[in-house]
Amino acid sequence: MRYQLELFFTALGFFTRIPVPAWVPWSPERLNHAARYFSLVGWIVGAVGAAAFWALSWVLPISLAVLLSVAITIRLTGAFHEDGWADTCDGLGGGWDKLQVLTIMKDSRIGTYGSAGLILMLLAKIFALVEIGAAGPAAVVIALLVAHPLSRLTSTSLLHTLDYVREDELAKAKPLARQLTPRELALAAAFGLLPLLLLPIGTTVLVLALVTATTVWVARLFKRRLGGYTGDCLGATQQLTELACYIAILIHA
C-alpha cells in the first residue's frame, strides 16, 4: 500500500506544482510505474478547478469565473500540457521531416504556430465552458471533473500504443517511455472513466465517441509524422481531448 501511495505522489509531483512529502523517493523507474495514476492526478486538477469556479461563480459572472478557474489549473500544473501543445503546434506546423519537427519541438522558444495554437486552445476551452455554464454553474463543475481525468487517460493510452521517438536522455518524457502492463492500463482506465458517471448516459456516449476519435486521429498523425510520440505529444493530446470533452458535453446539452 505504501508503494502505491509513493507512486501516486510521484505522478502528482511530476504533473503538478503541488508539493509532495519529502519521504517519497523518486526515480525514472518509479515514474514509469506511476503512469497508472496519471488519470487520478486529473481528479485533483479537475477538483481544484471545479472548486475555484464554484466559489468564484458566487461573486463573479460565469465568464470571469471560468477564466480564473482555467488560470488556476494552469498555475497548478505549471502549464505543463499547454507547453506541450504549443511545442507540438510549432513542430508539426513548421517542420517538414521528422528531424526538423523534433528539433523545432525541442526549442524552448515559442513560434507563430505555437502562439496561435495556444491562444486558440485557451479561448476555445474558455468559450466552451462559458457556454456549458448557461445551464448553470453545476454543469461547469461536472465538465471539469470529467474532462481532466479523461484527457489524461488519452495521453496515457499513447504510452501503451506508440513508440517513444526521442533518443536523448534529457528529454522530458524519457522516463515514461515504456508500455503499461494490462493491470496498470486497467487502473488508469478506471480512474479516467469513472467520472463519466456524473453525466447522463447519452452525453457519456457522445463524449467517449468524440474523445476516442480525437485520440485515434492524433495518434495516427504522430505515427505518420514522427513514427511515435514525444512528451510534447502527450501534452498536446491532453489539451485536444479535454477540449473534445467540453465540445461533446456542449453538443448534447
Cα separation, 209 vs 138, in Å, equals 23
CB 120 within 8 A of CB 242: no
pLDDT in tens, 140-171: 999 999 999 999 999 999 998 999 997 664 45
Q: Is the model's pTM score more than 0.85?
A: yes
pLDDT in tens, 173-230: 455 556 788 888 999 999 999 999 999 999 999 999 999 999 999 999 999 999 999 9
Confidence at residue 178, expressed as pLDDT on a 0 to 100 scale? 63
By residue range, what is the domain housing residue 93? 2-251
Q: Is the pLDDT of residue 24 over 50?
A: yes
What's the total number of domains in the chain? 1
Among 19, 15, 14, CA closest to 149 = 15
Q: What is the mean pLDDT of residues 60-88?
A: 97
